[in-house]
Structure 1
C-alpha cells in the first residue's frame, strides 16, 4: 500500500522572478515541513552558495533570504501516492498537479522556471507544456539535487544549477 503525499504551499516573496519546482517532498521534508530537508540533498548548499546565504542559518531565514532574491519554491505535484521518498515509487494514477498555471497567471515577473530533476521536468511538461508554450518564460531542466541522484558529482550539479540561475 502506498502513502498519500501532499506537497507544501508555494514559498514565495512579493515579486518572484524565478520559480524552482521539485517533484513532491520526500519523507525527510514532510517530517520537517521544509523544502529540501534531507541532510544530503544538495539544494540548500547550491542555492546558498549562489546567493551568498549562510547555510547555517535557520531554515526560515534561508527561505526568506531566497525569497528576497526573487526565488519561489514549489512542487509540480500537489498530491500523489508514494511509498518512501523515491520519485520512481510514485503511483502514476494518483498524480494531481499543483495549479502552477493559475499561480503564474498572477505572477507577471516570473521569467524563469527551474525544474529540479527528471520527474519534475516530465510532470511539468505533461501538465503545463501547452500553458507555457506562448509565454515569455524560460524553462530550464536542472539535475536533481536529491542524494538518490548519485550519478553526478556535487560539483557538476552546482555548476549546472549556477549556470541556470544566472540565465536572464
Structure 2
C-alpha cells in the first residue's frame, strides 16, 4: 500500500529540526507523529528539554514543541510499505528538506531519529549538512531495543548547541 506522510510541524523561529524516517502504521492511522504508545519520542524530547510532553494531549504536545522552538518532520514524504519497519519501505519519495530549511532561518541543529532517517537525510542535505549541527540519534521506536537511559544520553547532545545559528547564506 502507498502511504502519504504527515505535514511538517514548525514555526520560523525553530532552532531544532527533528526528522524521522516515515511514520509507522499506528501514527498514520492516528494522523499523529509518534502515535505508537510505546514509541519513546515524546518522553525523550520532554526529558531532554525538562518538559512533561507525555501527559499532554497530542495538539498540546505539538504546541509545546513549537514553543520550545522545535520543528518536526520526516525525510520520506510518501512510500509503499507493509507494516511499520523501515526495512519494509519501498519506492520512497523524499521530502523537500532544502525548502523547509529556507523557512527556518534560526535553525541550528538537525537531529535524525534513527539510522534510516540519518542515512537518507544526510544524503538529501548534501553540503547543507555543513551549515548545521547534525546528529544521528538512536531511534525512539519500540523496535530499537536500546535501554532508555542510553537513548536519553545520546539525545541530550541536542542541548549542546548554544549561541547564534551558524547558518551561512
TM-score (norm 1): 0.90
Counterparts of 1:1-168 in structure 2 under 5 Å?
3-54=1-52, 55-91=54-90, 94-130=91-127, 132-135=128-131, 137-150=132-145, 152-168=146-162
- Tell me the matched-pair count: 161
Q: How far is 1:51 from its partner? A: 2.3
| Cα deviation digits, residues 128-148 of structure 1 (max 9, x gap) | 223x1452x111110000001
Root-mean-square deviation over aligned CA pairs: 1.3
Deviating above 4 A after TM superposition, structure 1's stretches of 4 or more consecutive aligned residues are none
Q: How far is 1:68 from its partner? A: 0.5
TM-score (norm 2): 0.90
Contact 1:53 1:62 in 2 (8 A): no
| 1: CA distance, partners of 2:114 / 2:48 | 19
| 2: CA distance, partners of 1:34 / 1:166 | 28
Q: How far is 1:107 from its partner? A: 1.5
